[in-house]
Amino acid sequence: MTPPGKKRGLVRPYVITDGRAHPTRNTLDLVTLVIAAGGETGGLSPEKRRVMELCRGGSLSVAEVAGHLRIPVSVTKVLLSDLVDSGHIVTRSPIPSAELPEPQILQEVLDGLRARL
């Protein structure tokens, strides 16, 4: 494993974002899912191309993209909002917790199994 820090720190975040710290949109948070929408990646910066490669396989959360790219989340947001603006990716809010199975149902399943054994 490459120790973090050996690789990091070569290309500084201000070069990645071209000096910007404010994302063009404020709709992204840690768990927002991003999905590649296609488009030409030729003219993109290496980091944006990496994002596109990562997102091509499915949806990823903002936090995960940041983790894979090994850049701070706030820097990732700047990149992602650029990509949303240019139409390369689309965002989707996370699955609402209401759709997840309720603890009560799980409890009932457990009780049912117990009753049978």
Partner 1 sequence: MTRHIPEAVFWCLLAGALAVVILLIRERQISARLRRTVATLEASVRSRDEEIRHLATVRLPALMESGPHQPAGAPGLLHGHLAGSEYAISLKTVSDLFSRSAQAAQARADQSAKAALKASMRTLQGLANEQQLSISEMQDRHDNADVLQDLLAIDHTNSQFGRRAQAIAVLCGSWPGRQRSASSLVDVVRGATSRIRDYRRVQVHAQVDIAIVSRAVEPVVLTVAELLDNAARHSQPNTTVQVNIQPAHNGTAIVIDDAGVGLIEQEIRRATELLSGAGQTVDITRLGDPPQFGFAAIGVLAARYGFSVSVDTRSPYGGVRAVVFLPSALLTRAHDEGPDSVRARPPARHAAPPRPSGPVATEHVAPDDASRTPSADPTPVYASTAGGLPKRRRRQPTAEHTPPAERSAPETPQGRSAQDAAAIIGAFARGTRSGRASSSDHEGNPHT
Residues that bind partner 1 (CB under 8 A): 1-15, 17-19, 21-23, 30, 35, 46, 50, 53-54, 57-60, 64, 68, 72-75, 77, 95, 99-101, 113-114, 117
Q: E strand or H helix at 54, and its extent?
A: helix 46-56
Least spacing, CB of residue 109 vs partner 1, in Å: 10
Contacts of 63 (CB under 8 A, 6+ apart): 30, 31, 73
Of 60 and 80, the one with the shorter C-beta distance to partner 1 is 60
Question: How far apart (Å, rounded) are the C-alpha atoms in residues 47 and 63?
Answer: 15
Tokens at residue 96, please? Answer: 């609402």
CB of 97 to partner 1, least distance (A): 11
Distance between CA atoms of 93 and 65, rounded to whole angstroms?
15
Residue nearer to partner 1 on the CB measure, 45 or 86: 45
54/86 with CB nearer partner 1 = 54
Q: Quick one: 101 or 103, whose CB is closer to partner 1?
A: 101
Whether the Cβ atoms of residue 52 and residue 36 lie closer than 8 Å to each other: yes
